Structure 1
Amino acid sequence: MAHRTPAPVRALGAILRALLGACTLLALLAGVPYLLLAVGHQPTELADGTLNLLQQDDGTLFFVVLTCIGWAGWAAFTLSAALEIVALLRRRTAPAISGLRSLQSLASALIGGIVLLAPTAAAAATGGPAVAATASHAAGDSAAAPSPASTASPQASEADQDKWPEHTVTSATELPWDLAEQYLGDGKRWKDIAALNPGLPQLAAGDQYLPVAATIKLPADADAADTSDRGQQHTSQTGTPPTSAELRTDTPASKEKAEEPTSVTVQEGDSLWTIADDHGDPKDWPALYEENRGAPLPGGGKFTDPDLIHPGQKLALPPQLTSKPPASSQEKKEKEEEKEQPPTPDDKDTTKAPEADPGTADEAPETAPDASAPGTPAPVPSGDNAPTQTAPASSSALAPAAVWTGAGALAAALVGTLATRRVLQQRRRRPGRRIPMPTGRPAATEQGLRAAQHPSGFSLLNATLRTLALNAAAAGRPLPALDAVVLHETKVDLHLAEPQAPVKPFTATSADQSVWTCSASSADIAEPEQLSETEMPYPALVSLGWTETGGHLVLIDLEHIGILNLDGNRDTARQVLQAIAVELASTPLAGHLELTALADAAPGLDTAAPERVARIADPAAALTEVAAHTADQRNALAAIGAETLRAARLLDDAAGAWTPHILLAQDLPDHATTSLVDALTAEPRTAGAVITTHAAAALPGLTWTLDCPDAEQPIVLPGSRLPVRLQGLADEHFADAIDLLILAASDSDVPAPTWPTDEDDAETSASSPVPAPSPPPADEREDDLPGEYAELEEADEPGAPDSERAKAPAKEQPQPAPGELDGPTGLTLADVLAEPTKPPATAPLPAPSTLPGPPANAPALQPQESLVTAPTGPTVLLLGPVSVDGAVGRIDSSRRNAGTELVAFLALNPGVDHHAIDDALWPGRLVGKEMRNAVVSRTRSWLGKDTDGHLHFPRVQDAGDSRYRLGPQVSCDWTRFQHLARTGLAHHDEDGTLALRHALSLVRGRPFGGIDPTRYAWAEPTIQEMVSAIVDVAYELSTRCREASDFPGALWAARRGLLAAEESELLHRQLFLAHHAADDLEGLREAATRLVRINEQLLDGADMEAETAELLRNLLPRPTARTR
């Protein structure tokens, strides 16, 4: 364990430094003038006129000049100190004065040390909250049974009510959500804190500021230490975290001492039971306690409570525990595979050791405590929200999601761009083919992105800032200049460059009105219809990192900054530049912006995002482009009479006139830096900025310089003075992000994967019932279908008698002329219909389906009555909103999401071990067995048993291979869809068509619809496969029905496929053909209009495909050109 100075010693050091600074400041401000007056020679000594420059000086003139120099130095320092004090009172950065920077730095250091004296002393007096060392466990720890620090008897629980960790409120802006995020890792757990403090109504309300100086009890699993830093320090060179034995045991001086350690150092997650287990017998923990009773604790006090041990505490091992060396990492791994700790039951907070109940525990523990063992009072967090240890972001061996921790905005921007590009890829995909998906490290990186994203924050930020622009324009006020934006889960804070009265929806949270805030529940946020008419007022906002406390995202306005210089460690600065570049290339906030990458800055970004990024190799050309952009915008500002860019953005005629242009440069030519700074920082400011890692010494003083540290150390932002941890992208993760963007923009498709045959899933298929398809709704509008198709009645469904179908006229279908029609046309529906041409002649029949023919091992078609069978067990529904239907047990609604995700994962990935489950449900986190087993146990109880008494979620020890899988009576709509689709595509007859219809009847919406964006990070490849398969089946069935003159059936099939992919022009073309064949011209027009609306919402307006536009030209009547 890395050495950590005790808190009292650190506080004493800070106090001494502050007192020394105060004495130094007093000596400089008061002592220097006293000495100058007492021993100096003042200019008044020369006032008698006796000075003769032609005579030899007796020293008087020299001392007078020396004294004057002293007075000048004192005046300069006094001025610097005064500026720093005024800036401190105004919570602003003191202006830099040329020639006085060294004196300003000295004054700032001295005054800053004095200002920090009060909170440091208060922190020392209050003391850190007591942290139970059982807060979390790494996946490899050997806590195999209830330990002395994991369960409690009722008597011990009552005795320990006064020993909860505590927090003292020191700021007037602390919220319950913030405390839960800081200490529990999840803001949603503020209710747990409120339950422990019933006397505080502000906690019960949840959205009120806490009273200053209030002492708040925290749950036992509250984590006040920054475990990620310690984890990073102990990570080995290969990226593998050390074992608990390596961290606990003092470094031996010899091999014999290594085999017989005499003491250990407590780590986060330890208990007396686990330490005794590592060094001998866990039942010897009482001897370990007796050996250390009364020993001093870190930070003061004595060790008198066996239920509460502290990280950093030294424990001497008794003789019975020193005769066995600590367990090696391999031994612990073997233990992990052999046994899993029983979970804590749902209905109890603290319990004694559970009995061996095969229905609630996965595996029996290898060692159980004696019946005579005393109670173990320390409560253990259980459930889905229990905190877990986050792996350090700098380790190369981390799970992918851990790398992106804190990069919520960057992750959300990338995931949003990937989603949009894949929608377009699905539109271009040929039937029977698939879109390319990442594999290997890029695939793991994408999973990490999806687990770390916070898209809801984007929506809140976008809505609040657009509302601010609306209200500022109505009030005739310019937009405020922003030093920083802090994005919380439920609110947005604006840190202003200059204090001013707030504009709705924001309110001032500081006395000087320098910080504005707006909560997500504010009634002043404008409606979406109003927001759509307003441009983003700060399009150059980009995330820089996150706050040191609370982990809230911090964004800066590049337009306000002008030049952002990333100084300090070159590698860190480059990684920060790469993170900013990727976010700017994919952010949805800006709408549109232009990026220029100079030389080798952000390599590959221009290929990954060509619509925003251009690369210029010549520095002179890049600087000329920046100068031209700034000059053009200043001329435009003068032309409209706007004083500032922020005022111009509020004008009605400003649409598209102020596109930001940002230059990314690792190095800048020295001869051009002055002109570049002048162009970007001169008033009025323009929509331009430069981000560079150039040496700060070579740049003028008006640049915004951030000193990027060597490690994860916080920096202080200029202006707002916020302590921030910078986010960066290491080279390998930056390369992954570029690969993901390039792959998602590819125009090529790939062969479809081979689905499991009936022989492969015979065991599952034989016992898994087929979910009955939902009956056709009486009103199509209730089926999430386009309103223009509501005229089709149930009698017109494919199941109607043949006599009903015969009434529909048979007609040859027009088809585009032969030849490849590549790419979008750029035409709107009005453009298509406005071209006066002659009515098209009868076109050839539509091309036959391009789906592959029946495979050689095509399954034999089952009798019709066997296609639909009532389910006899739970059904996992994935082809729409995710749910589990038919579970006979009960589960708390707050824990249903984790159980549902586990069931969905096992339905698609049967036979996995607990490592795969951890990576899927908790990516990037080291999950203890308590959490995993609790979720597994609750899910098993929720699914229940079948009629024969067999569990629908069997115990892992009952499986021959010790793997997790669902029971044979649990069915899945996707598995059933695959079976029916494979059967239907292989048989081009009436029964094959019926199988395709049954397959489509399972589709209820877009696969995995309605999920939490931060969950199901593992499911993206499966979602894309489902979408492609549904569209292919819908296309095939619609084609078959239309060729058989079953036009209602053709419409039903296409509409059903559009439930999963409404943007698929392949299916929209099927709709057009079916409407035309049924002589439904009005329905054809409405269908075409709907496609235009969908295209307008893709990437702020996607063009109609050439093939679709050509088809509409052939199908829709248009005015003919008159001949004279």
Structure 2
Amino acid sequence: MRLLRALGALVALTALLLGVPAALFAWGDLGALAPSRWGTLWSGAATAGTVIAVVTLVGWACWVLLMVSTVAEVVATLSGDRVRWRVPLTGWVQPIVAGLLAAVVAGLPGVSSMERFGEHEPMTPPSIAVPSSVAESDVAAAPGSIRSSDAEPSLSSSRSVHVVADGEELWTIAENRYGDGQRWQQIAEANGLTLDSPILPGMRLVLPGVPQAQAVAGPGAPPQSAPDRVVVRAGDSLWTIAEEHLGDPERWPEIADLNRTLIIDPDEIEVGWTIVLPHAEEEDPPSPAPIPEDSEQDPWQAEPTGTPADPSATSTPTTTASPDATGAGQPPSGNTAAPATSPAPPPTQVGPPSARPHSDTDDAPLFTREPLRLLAGGLTAALAAAVSAGLVVRHRIQSDQRDLGRRPVPAGESSRRLEAVWAAQADEATEPSGVTGTTVIVGETLDEQQPVTFDLTGVTVVRGPEALTRDLLGAVCTCLASAEWSATTEVVVVGRGLAWTTALDSPMLRYAPEAAVELRAAAERAHHRRVAADELDADLAEVVVFADLLEADERDLLIEVFEDAPGMAAVVIDNPGRTPWTRHGCVIRVDDEATARVGEGAPFVPCLVGAPARRALIDLHASATTTETTRAPWWADDPPPGVSTIHNPPDILEEASMTAVDAHRDRPTLLLLGPIQLVGTRGTRPSRAVKACEEYCGWLLENPGQSSQKMAQSLMVAEATRRSNMSRLRVWLGADERGQQFLPEAYTGRIQLHPGVSSDWDELQLLIQAGVNRTPSQALVQALQLVRGEPLADAAPGLWHWAEQWRRDMIATLRDIALVLGQRSLDSDDLEVARWALKRGLACAPTDELLLSMMIRVEHRLGNRGEAERLVMLVTRLARTRGYDLRVDTVMLIQEVMEGRIRTRKA
């Protein structure tokens, strides 16, 4: 078949290159385009001969482009794609030539299949030429590359070439191929790049220390030709990757299991990721078959495999070799056996793990720890609680200082999913006891899942595989930067391996790139601390974390500096392949992802900040601290000149409506703008799981038409629990006058509420659909009358974790409505209406600077000096404790209220 395809391609290519000019010579005629006949052409008296001449001219131009494209593709093929140039105006013909030429070359004896050649646009952007010292056999198989399976590699397999995919950058390539984004510098140095160098799709980058990948096989290839890893392309999914490279699309759970530190949601993978593939000769476990919506079977429940369901009851994990700094494998500490050569068996469970166990009670445990820990990117519940609390504070400060009608740029979808997992995990966390400023969370116990804490004193050595020790150090730095009890502890991170921790935006954390320089500076600080030991504040401690391996002389100096320095501690990493430290304070040994020990103590599950968690921490902290904003979706463009907004608020506003609940609605309505309540239902209220049913209703309102699998993943519930609560919600909602259920059965696999089910948030959006700044004041009053308190005020612990961005948008919208109505009322001297509107806004955002400032102005104009001064003290205290500067307008207002005038700003 390959030979027949090659012969057909050769005939087609020959016909194009030789047949086209022969036909043009035989039937073409350019005589009508002679200069002597140009007058006839311009006069419009064209004949059939003129049309033939034009067609002939176009045909010759196309043939010239075809010939030039063929020459370019031949040169690129003979040079192994190292020599390629872009030919103008050939984008329509060059892919055709590339495909035909690839089929011809593939049919030559001794040449492997080139099924991938030509799948992507051959005209790649200017690429970095592979150094001549790198043989073609050392090029990692990737889209657009050609490789002969019979060629013998001329170099060691410790370096390969990576073809850049769409959306990749040096950081993501290093993170996917090395497991550490900080190693992008190695790629840059090997290819003569800098951080500012453009990285374009199609570029070939030498990856030092990466084992040579196997050739990529096309569909239908023998199982043993499957590659070790594949780069995700546009349109790929785990299903299509498994079908293309493993020959069986239902083996996608194996790929998800092997890449669980990268893939959080199997339904969402990103272009440019490098995904590890399982060996084809392994027997694939049974994959769950699709389950209809009305079935009681749990689609995430794995088939029995003979292994115990309890992770703690499984056998001792297989020890595998771990890479050190040079890429060579070293056995973990304490294990003298040879490293295992066969991969560990896949986990028992396949697909997204269920986080909430099968339980219908509200007081049942919400999460099973191990699956949730995998979803959380390695963060334990206690550390997730510290991170979540810090993000909440940052978002609140950011929201309180934003301009009217603006919205902070939200984090990416994958980061928001991890934030939701951390929020859910934090609700189940046990707060550590007896903590000090240098206490860090290093893991959780195996049995009761209680936090394992460690007090950093002197020198602490973290020993184990380099990647795992760095992940544990990442957890240490995250804890020191996020935990409330470490607010006065200064943290110094040394080395490129943990430079990402600066994104945590802690004022007490700083970065130092060179260990030698920081050691000398630490020695001076330690000397001053020893001299003034009696005068030191016990709460002002310092921890220096070294992310890179230290040399022997640096280790000796480190011990000398930190061994007895008051209030100072150091954390360093080491691996089993190096000479053990002769003196140190304590050793934390990381055996694998599931086991670590402090000294010779009991084993515990280490807290490891892996690649997904690192990306999420960087993204979430950046979005929570950025001052960049976009126009809010509830805000319209400024109205054109001459267009005014009607201001006609009512004369009387009922204060009692703040806590009133409209129970006379004739259709099911979920009240979200305050304590959560589902009113207007026509069925029987369930006797249990009421809060869960309300959450399900809210999720369906915000995510209409989604699948049951997506719902289970987002809510982090077991499928059986989801079905039980959906049945309760269906009965509770009831049916309309025509007997149609408000929660119909999802026979199509997509869940959709009846159009008659709504929420007070939907009602508010209808009132302001023209934009808050263009909505008449009467409609703004109606919108604020829906407010009964802070949105989702009584969300139960562990519930509504998916709705954090939704809740922020509700608060921001209500705050802007209150400000607009308050300003209009001030301008028209309706002070009581302004006060009423601002109280409604402050019920949602009690620390917002603009709301408090406008309330100060209202109380000042009403003559309530005592209340105005109280609000002034509140505003200034918030700015001082949170560490931000007040707006210029706020400062001038405070001067006017407190001093009777605005201070002179110019001499």
TM-score by length of 2: 0.56
1:724 is aligned to 604
The higher radius of gyration belongs to: 1
2:751 is aligned to 964
Residues 802-834 of structure 1, C-alpha deviations (whole Å, 9 max, x = no match): xxxxxxxxxxxxxxxxxxxxxxxxxxxxxxxxx
1:704 is aligned to 586
Secondary structure at the aligned position of 2:487 is classed as coil
User: Do 1:1000 and 1:1053's aligned partners in 2 also have CA atoms closer than 8 Å?
Assistant: yes
User: Do 1:910 and 1:965's aligned partners in 2 also have CA atoms closer than 8 Å?
Assistant: yes
Find the partner of 2:702 among 895, 908, 912.
908
User: Do 1:1008 and 1:1023's aligned partners in 2 also have CA atoms closer than 8 Å?
Assistant: yes
The CA distance in 1 between the partners of 2:314 and 2:480, in whole Å, is 41
1:660 is aligned to 542
2:732 is aligned to 942
Matching of residues 269-280 of structure 1 within 5 Å: none
2:380 is aligned to 407
Find the partner of 1:692 among 544, 568, 573.
573
User: Do 1:565 and 1:694's aligned partners in 2 also have CA atoms closer than 8 Å?
Assistant: no
The CA distance in 1 between the partners of 2:769 and 2:783, in whole Å, is 10
Secondary structure at the aligned position of 2:430 is classed as helix
The CA distance in 1 between the partners of 2:360 and 2:896, in whole Å, is 64
The CA distance in 1 between the partners of 2:791 and 2:728, in whole Å, is 25
Matching of residues 1084-1099 of structure 1 within 5 Å: 1084-1095=868-879, 1099=882
User: Do 1:1072 and 1:1087's aligned partners in 2 also have CA atoms closer than 8 Å?
Assistant: yes
Larger RCO (CA under 8 A, 6+ residues apart): 1
2:894 is aligned to 1112
Secondary structure at the aligned position of 1:697 is classed as coil
Asked if 1:976 corresponds to 2:725, the answer is no
User: Do 2:500 and 2:618's aligned partners in 1 also have CA atoms closer than 8 Å?
Assistant: yes
User: Residue type of the partner of 2:399?
Assistant: Q
User: Do 2:446 and 2:604's aligned partners in 1 also have CA atoms closer than 8 Å?
Assistant: yes
- Count of aligned pairs: 572
Structure 1 residue 609: deviation in Å? 1.8
Asked if 1:604 corresponds to 2:500, the answer is yes
Structure 1 residue 756: deviation in Å? 12
The CA distance in 2 between the partners of 1:630 and 1:1066, in whole Å, is 46
Structure 1 residue 892: deviation in Å? 5.1
- Over 3 Å counting, the alpha-carbon distance change for 1:380 and 1:311 in structure 2 is farther
Asked if 1:999 corresponds to 2:783, the answer is yes
2:846 is aligned to 1062
Secondary structure at the aligned position of 1:915 is classed as helix
Residues 242-274 of structure 1, C-alpha deviations (whole Å, 9 max, x = no match): x9xxxxxxx9999xxx9xx9xx9999xx9xxx9
- Over 3 Å counting, the alpha-carbon distance change for 1:434 and 1:736 in structure 2 is same
Asked if 1:429 corresponds to 2:402, the answer is yes
Structure 1 residue 1072: deviation in Å? 1.9
Asked if 1:581 corresponds to 2:375, the answer is no
Structure 1 residue 952: deviation in Å? 2.5
The CA distance in 2 between the partners of 1:1045 and 1:1020, in whole Å, is 37
Structure 1 residue 1046: deviation in Å? 0.5
User: Do 2:653 and 2:836's aligned partners in 1 also have CA atoms closer than 8 Å?
Assistant: no
Asked if 1:955 corresponds to 2:751, the answer is no
| Unaligned runs of at least 5 residues, structure 2 | 1-237, 239-252, 267-278, 316-349, 352-356, 638-651
The CA distance in 2 between the partners of 1:898 and 1:1054, in whole Å, is 33
- Over 3 Å counting, the alpha-carbon distance change for 1:909 and 1:400 in structure 2 is farther
The CA distance in 2 between the partners of 1:426 and 1:1008, in whole Å, is 17
- Over 3 Å counting, the alpha-carbon distance change for 1:983 and 1:235 in structure 2 is closer
Structure 1 residue 400: deviation in Å? 9.3
The CA distance in 2 between the partners of 1:674 and 1:904, in whole Å, is 60
User: Do 1:634 and 1:686's aligned partners in 2 also have CA atoms closer than 8 Å?
Assistant: no
User: Do 1:266 and 1:311's aligned partners in 2 also have CA atoms closer than 8 Å?
Assistant: no
Structure 1 residue 994: deviation in Å? 1.1
2:208 is aligned to none
Structure 1 residue 775: deviation in Å? 7.0
Find the partner of 1:740 among 620, 639, 642.
620
- Over 3 Å counting, the alpha-carbon distance change for 1:732 and 1:671 in structure 2 is same
Secondary structure at the aligned position of 1:1006 is classed as coil
Q: Identity over aligned residues, as a percent?
A: 23
Residues 41-80 of structure 1, C-alpha deviations (whole Å, 9 max, x = no match): xxxxxxxxxxxxxxxxxxxxxxxxxxxxxxxxxxxxxxxx
The CA distance in 1 between the partners of 2:635 and 2:724, in whole Å, is 34
1:539 is aligned to 437
User: Do 1:540 and 1:590's aligned partners in 2 also have CA atoms closer than 8 Å?
Assistant: yes
1:235 is aligned to 257
User: Residue type of the partner of 2:471?
Assistant: Q
Structure 1 residue 674: deviation in Å? 2.1
Structure 1 residue 1082: deviation in Å? 2.7
Matching of residues 49-64 of structure 1 within 5 Å: none
User: Residue type of the partner of 2:713?
Assistant: D
User: Do 2:378 and 2:607's aligned partners in 1 also have CA atoms closer than 8 Å?
Assistant: no
Residues 127-161 of structure 1, C-alpha deviations (whole Å, 9 max, x = no match): xxxxxxxxxxxxx9xxxxxxxxxxxxxxxxxxxxx
2:655 is aligned to 777
Find the partner of 1:441 among 395, 409, 414.
414
Residues 1016-1063 of structure 1, C-alpha deviations (whole Å, 9 max, x = no match): 222122112112111111110001111111001111111111111111
Asked if 1:557 corresponds to 2:530, the answer is no
Secondary structure at the aligned position of 1:662 is classed as strand
User: Do 2:464 and 2:575's aligned partners in 1 also have CA atoms closer than 8 Å?
Assistant: no
User: Residue type of the partner of 1:1080?
Assistant: N
User: Do 1:920 and 1:1017's aligned partners in 2 also have CA atoms closer than 8 Å?
Assistant: no
- Over 3 Å counting, the alpha-carbon distance change for 1:885 and 1:634 in structure 2 is farther
Secondary structure at the aligned position of 1:589 is classed as helix
Structure 1 residue 389: deviation in Å? 9.7
The CA distance in 1 between the partners of 2:868 and 2:307, in whole Å, is 77
- Over 3 Å counting, the alpha-carbon distance change for 1:952 and 1:277 in structure 2 is closer
Secondary structure at the aligned position of 1:725 is classed as strand
Find the partner of 1:879 among 670, 673, 678.
673
| Unaligned runs of at least 5 residues, structure 1 | 1-139, 141-230, 244-250, 279-287, 289-296, 300-309, 313-332, 337-378, 394-398, 466-536, 641-653, 758-773, 784-867
User: Residue type of the partner of 1:663?
Assistant: V
2:145 is aligned to none
Structure 1 residue 602: deviation in Å? 1.1
User: Residue type of the partner of 1:688?
Assistant: A
Secondary structure at the aligned position of 1:414 is classed as helix
The CA distance in 2 between the partners of 1:995 and 1:593, in whole Å, is 51
The CA distance in 2 between the partners of 1:1060 and 1:440, in whole Å, is 25
The CA distance in 1 between the partners of 2:823 and 2:280, in whole Å, is 77
Asked if 1:629 corresponds to 2:651, the answer is no
User: Residue type of the partner of 1:993?
Assistant: S
Secondary structure at the aligned position of 1:702 is classed as coil
Structure 1 residue 544: deviation in Å? 0.6
Residues 449-478 of structure 1, C-alpha deviations (whole Å, 9 max, x = no match): 2232247633xx4xx54xxxxxxxxxxxxx
The CA distance in 2 between the partners of 1:447 and 1:693, in whole Å, is 34
2:560 is aligned to 678
User: Residue type of the partner of 1:753?
Assistant: P
Secondary structure at the aligned position of 1:1019 is classed as helix
Structure 1 residue 593: deviation in Å? 1.6
User: Residue type of the partner of 1:235?
Assistant: D
Structure 1 residue 968: deviation in Å? 2.9
User: Residue type of the partner of 1:1105?
Assistant: R
User: Do 1:608 and 1:739's aligned partners in 2 also have CA atoms closer than 8 Å?
Assistant: no
Find the partner of 1:1071 among 829, 844, 855.
855
The CA distance in 2 between the partners of 1:968 and 1:1042, in whole Å, is 39
Secondary structure at the aligned position of 1:887 is classed as coil
Matching of residues 472-511 of structure 1 within 5 Å: none
The CA distance in 1 between the partners of 2:869 and 2:791, in whole Å, is 29
2:833 is aligned to 1049
- Over 3 Å counting, the alpha-carbon distance change for 1:419 and 1:778 in structure 2 is closer
The CA distance in 2 between the partners of 1:582 and 1:996, in whole Å, is 43
Structure 1 residue 447: deviation in Å? 2.4
